[in-house]
Structure 1
Amino acid sequence: MAGLFVNQAAVYADARPTYPKEWFAKLASLTDHHDLAWDVGTGNGQSAIGVAEHYGKVVATDVSEAQLRLAIPNPKVQYVHTPLSMPDEQLISAMGGENSVDLITVAQAVHWFDLPTFYSLANRLLRKPGGVIAVWSYNYKISPIEHSMTRFFETTLPYWDPRTQHAFDGYRALPFPFEDVGLGTEGDPATLEMEQELSFDRLLGVLRSWSAVATAKERGVDLLSERVVKELEEEWGGKEVVRTVTYKTFMLAGKPKME
């Protein structure tokens, strides 16, 4: 997965939306303690920065060194490179041992993970009782530009990794073996919205940050050719237009099941 985002790490960091502060306040209200959080697949740290407003320390990890080099500095956030080769026990030790993490967050990334391995780690690391895990994502369904996004998305279909299907489906089929805390549960994600001010250049940045666009380019196919960009610009209303758009998002949150 890391390789898909190496070449467009800077584009990803600049184009992706920021998450509402209210989300992090709500998640913080669900945990009994606020000492340590783990932001997994942090990318450039967009989620980690929000989490840091509510927790004493955030360990933000990613398998991509390129992404971490562009991470947003914050005195409460420690960025750590965790290559796929890192043994589980080493990661657990780096996090402070089992039963030490109050909140685990995964923004726009959990569908890339080896889920059984990750969920096993999460269960071992989360504080019991009182620890919470939350995963969320969004997809191409952005209003009020649904038509343009759907039409462009259809051109990308041959180039997506099969794991992204979970995101396309709104995480409705994503395994999530944790106890319900009232913010989305397995088979029934919570639906949320993110409003963003978006220029046409930022919209292009969003599209260029898609892994399928990068994969297509590696195969010699430019999905954002001059012709396609011109069509999108006309539908947008002109390059100088700034629109308020709404990302349709979905979240699953839970706590370890006590046996």
Structure 2
Amino acid sequence: MNQDMRRKSFVVGVAVAGLFVGAIAGFFAAHRMMSDMPGTESSGEMKGHGMEGMGNVKETPMEGNKPMRDMELMPGMSDDPAGAVAVPAVARQLIGVRSAPAVHATLEEEIRTVGTVGYDERGFTQVTLKTAGWVRKVFVDSIGRPVRKGEPLFIFYSPDLMATQDEYLLALKTRTQLAESPLDEVRTNADALVASARERLRLWDVTDSQIAALEHRGKAEPVLTIYAPSSGIVMKRDALPGKYVEPG
């Protein structure tokens, strides 16, 4: 039995020794193959030549006398922070990427569409007459013409307006005659008659300056000049020279 065990031990020992010898032979064979490959250098040669293709390499002392190699970045490598996107110049040209400095500016966009141009009806002003008559002369002779407030529009003749002017002049004359009356009621009625005739002229769009001119002149004017009540653009024109117009 002892002889059989010695034989098994010998066989196991020979097998282990064979594996060990095979491992050493394989290591040297691999090392020889790597040395014979073109462009491959030993560690000593790489240290002497500075690892071509990886940039300049230098050794920096570290704790524990272990050197650390500081390498300059290879061409094409980026030192951008994590998450940054780097697009090569050729790719930017192909996809049409353009860059510009970030600035504060107002964003504008041109929009082309169709629509209808209208007017704000809240700003409309109509010039109407309070009595019938005839248009003598027109100063604003075209639609679309701009006018300013107080600018003359047309000259209007009205027999009724002329009669009202005569009534006002008569009321003024009567008040002057009754100014020396001893009766207060008579003087008060004369003042009321003048105020009533003046108010009638104002209702017919006769301005205060025109009433003052009538008082100074002392004679009724057969025609009346109508002025623009506000500034704007003429959108419609019905007044024509010689045309008979009615109130409204």
Q: TM-score, normalised by structure 1?
A: 0.17
Asked which structure has the greater CA Rg, the reply is: 2
Q: TM-score, normalised by structure 2?
A: 0.17
- Structure in which a larger fraction of residues adopt strand: 1
